[in-house]
Amino acid sequence: MTRQGLRMTREGFSYRGPARGVHALEKWITDEEDLFLVTHMGFLEINPQDWYVDIDGLVERPMTLRLADLQAMPQREYMSFHECAGSPLAPTEPKRRVGNVVWKGVPLADILRLARIQASASYLWTSGLEWGEYAGLRGEIFQKDLPIGKAMSEEVLLALEINGKPLNADRGGPVRLVVPGWYGTNSVKWIGSITVADARAPGPYTTLFYNDVTPTGTKPVWEVAPEAVIVAPDPDVPLMAGNACRIWGWAWGDHAIVAVEVSVDGGETWSEATVAGRIDRSWQRFEFFWRPPVGEHLLMCRCTDANGETQPGTNARNAIHQVSVHVTQPD
């Protein structure tokens, strides 16, 4: 069946984000205009009346759900950081495209319980409805996958809203998948089908792209590794020597962050910052007070999660963030 009511509004890869980068992220909940926006093949616009998602594959009861069906089901809200893994063509380059938002939608687990997954199933394939070209590949769909265990966890939603407002077209509306705790690439926008299967999805977005090469083999880009950014001070704002300076920012990861350290000397020495707790999978605020001496200083932050995992210095998407600041003598 060909789908009605679909229109590509822009073609090709696109990234949009705040001009000041992470220094714009001053609010606990990121306003949509400060939240990065990413697409590989372009932006799709879907007539909400025409939208539906097929649930098929290894299920007892294949089904098709329309927008009104989801709207009639119980919904939940979930607060989560939302982070892009960066370019799949440069997977070790930190991009720090991140925000913290509140999603609202129908738990995917509720839908899967209705469809009744067969015992032989192990993965869910989730596909977007857009088409186009990315990295020289044409005619491929944006298809991702997740193990059944994650798909059944309470935080995974077919989302209809972000921060209390319906998802707009560029955000993946009327309905997108959100996989809190996992990199943004897994949160399929403009979702059109969910196929239950007994193997990983075969397309380029789960094979060629979004697999990290590790010493023990390739690892899907799923769980978000611990990461922290300094929001303030902003490198463009000169600091005065002797004034107390609050170094603060956000730390996040699939697992809760239990410690953040700050360095004011380019990583030679580290001091413990205070770290707030988290709600659902929100990011967590840290802060550290410093009396800066005159000169150039390289500030850094690094965090550790509940599993004891910390951040690499370089050469990783979650490499330690640094900000260089200029401190002058007050006159």
Ligand X SMILES: Nc1nc2c(c(=O)[nH]1)N[C@H]1C(S)=C(S)[C@@H](COP(=O)(O)O)O[C@H]1N2
Greatest CA separation for the chain: 76
Interface pick for ligand X out of 43, 52, 81, 142 (rule CB under 6 A)? 142
Quick note: the x/- pattern for Mo ion over 71-110, rule CB under 5 A, is: -------------x--------------------------
**Under rule CB under 5 A, residue 185 binds Mo ion:** yes
The option from ligand X, Mo ion, none interacting with 190 (CB < 5 to 8 A, set by class) reads ligand X
Residues 267-306 that bind ligand X (CB under 6 A): none
Q: Is the dihedral of CA 109, 168, 48, 77 positive or negative?
A: positive
* Size of interface with Mo ion, in residues (CB under 5 A): 4
**Under rule CB under 6 A, residue 252 binds ligand X:** no
**Under rule CB under 5 A, residue 38 binds Mo ion:** yes
**Under rule CB under 6 A, residue 51 binds ligand X:** no
**Under rule CB under 6 A, residue 187 binds ligand X:** yes
**Residue 99 main-chain phi, psi, to 5 deg:** -160, 180
The option from Mo ion, ligand X, none interacting with 130 (CB < 5 to 8 A, set by class) reads ligand X
| Three-state secondary structure call for residue 133 | strand
**Under rule CB under 6 A, residue 30 binds ligand X:** no
Q: Which of 24, 9, 48 is nearest to 170 (CA)?
A: 9
Residues 69-98 that bind ligand X (CB under 6 A): 82, 84
Report d(CA 282, CA 82) in Å as an integer. Answer: 9
Cβ 250 vs Cβ 296: under 8 Å: no
**Under rule CB under 6 A, residue 156 binds ligand X:** no
**Residue 85 main-chain phi, psi, to 5 deg:** -75, -5
The option from ligand X, Mo ion, none interacting with 229 (CB < 5 to 8 A, set by class) reads none
The option from ligand X, Mo ion, none interacting with 36 (CB < 5 to 8 A, set by class) reads ligand X
Cβ 305 vs Cβ 260: under 8 Å: no
Which strand ranges, in their side-by-side order, compose the sheet holding 227-232?
227-232, 245-252, 284-290, 274-275
Q: Closer to ligand X at the Cβ: 135 or 258? A: 135
Interface pick for ligand X out of 57, 173, 184, 249 (rule CB under 6 A)? 184
Q: Which of 173, 183, 270, 292 is nearest to 227 (CA)?
A: 183
| Three-state secondary structure call for residue 170 | coil
Q: Which residues pair with 82 in a beta bridge?
A: 99
Q: Closer to ligand X at the Cβ: 89 or 213? A: 89
Q: Which of 147, 161, 253, 127 is nearest to 197 (CA)?
A: 147
Interface pick for ligand X out of 22, 38, 106, 224 (rule CB under 6 A)? 38
Least spacing, CB of residue 173 vs Mo ion, in Å: 18
Q: Closer to Mo ion at the Cβ: 36 or 123? A: 36
Report d(CA 164, CA 235) in Å as an integer. Answer: 33
**Under rule CB under 6 A, residue 40 binds ligand X:** yes
Q: Closer to Mo ion at the Cβ: 13 or 131? A: 13
Least spacing, CB of residue 125 vs Mo ion, in Å: 18
- 78 sits in which H/E element: strand 76-83
Q: Closer to ligand X at the Cβ: 62 or 91? A: 91
Q: Closer to Mo ion at the Cβ: 101 or 117? A: 101
**Under rule CB under 6 A, residue 220 binds ligand X:** no
Q: Which of 45, 23, 318 is nearest to 183 (CA)?
A: 318
Residues that bind Mo ion (CB under 5 A): 38, 84, 184-185
Residues that bind ligand X (CB under 6 A): 36-40, 82, 84, 128, 130, 142, 171-172, 184-185, 187-190
